Amino acid sequence: MVAVFLADGFEMIEALTPADILRRAGVIVHLVAVGKDKVVTSSHGVLVTADLFLSDLPAPVPQDMLLLPGGMPGAEHLYASEALREMLAAHMNAGGLTAAICAAPLVPGRMGLLRGRKATCYPGFEKELKGAFVTPSGVVRDGNLLTARGMGVALPFALEAAAMLVGEAKARAVAASVMMLP
């Protein structure tokens, strides 16, 4: 299972591209509203209806992935959720799969959860990744942690998330099916 967290001001491509790719790979994906309404407004005014509220999400197990899309002020709204921060900390401390793109690595970064890990983020947010080994790469995988720089790498980010969840062969098959050519 993958939980894609939506907060007002999220970057639509960074949330929905992974949701689409992961569903194509056969993964159960929940769009999870972090705010008070299931209809969440993207950073460009597009309304997206979440599947459930954060309070209704079953406690994740380490094989589940918590996915944080970026966008501003969406990433700040994700960080403002104490319930999300608690869930993220417990999940990451248990070795759970975690993915964050663009500005969203600031959430685990501010919490000190990236200390000693390789990570990337949207340029200008590097200072938020406390103790991380920050690289300028587009997509960075460090074990059970996946980070990416921004919406321009949303598809490779999504495919790497798929590889983490269902294996390289299935991820390559999905890539081929959407014409992601080498």
CATH number at residue 88: 3.40.50.880
Q: Are 117 and 93 in contact (CB under 8 A)?
A: no
- In terms of DSSP H, where are the helices of 46-94? 74-80, 82-93
Residue 179 lies in a domain: no
pLDDT in tens, 123-173: 999 999 999 999 999 999 999 999 999 999 999 999 999 999 999 999 999
Residue 82 lies in a domain: yes
Please check the confidence at residue 71 and state whether its pLDDT lies above 90.
Answer: yes
pLDDT in tens, 115-125: 999 999 999 99
pLDDT in tens, 2-57: 999 999 999 999 999 999 999 999 999 999 999 999 999 999 999 999 999 999 99
Please check the confidence at residue 182 and state whether its pLDDT lies above 70.
Answer: no
Please check the confidence at residue 1 and state whether its pLDDT lies above 70.
Answer: yes
Region of residue 151 (phi > 0: left; psi between -120 and 50: alpha; otherwise: beta): alpha
Q: What is the mean pLDDT of residues 77-87?
A: 98
Residue 178 lies in a domain: no
pLDDT of residue 166: 98
Task: Specify the amino acid at residue 42.
Answer: S
Residue 23 lies in a domain: yes
Q: What is the residue-averaged pLDDT of the chain?
A: 97
Residue 113 lies in a domain: yes
Q: What is the mean pLDDT of residues 84-100?
A: 98
Residue 35 lies in a domain: yes
d(CA 84, CA 137): 27
Residue 87 lies in a domain: yes
Q: How many domains does the chain have?
A: 1
pTM of the model: 0.97
The residue range of the domain holding 139 is 2-172
Residue 71 lies in a domain: yes
Q: Are 34 and 84 in contact (CB under 8 A)?
A: yes
Question: At 180, is the pLDDT very low, low, confident or very high (cuts 50, 70, 90)?
Answer: confident
Q: Could you tell me how far CA 153 lies from the centroid of its own chain?
A: 12
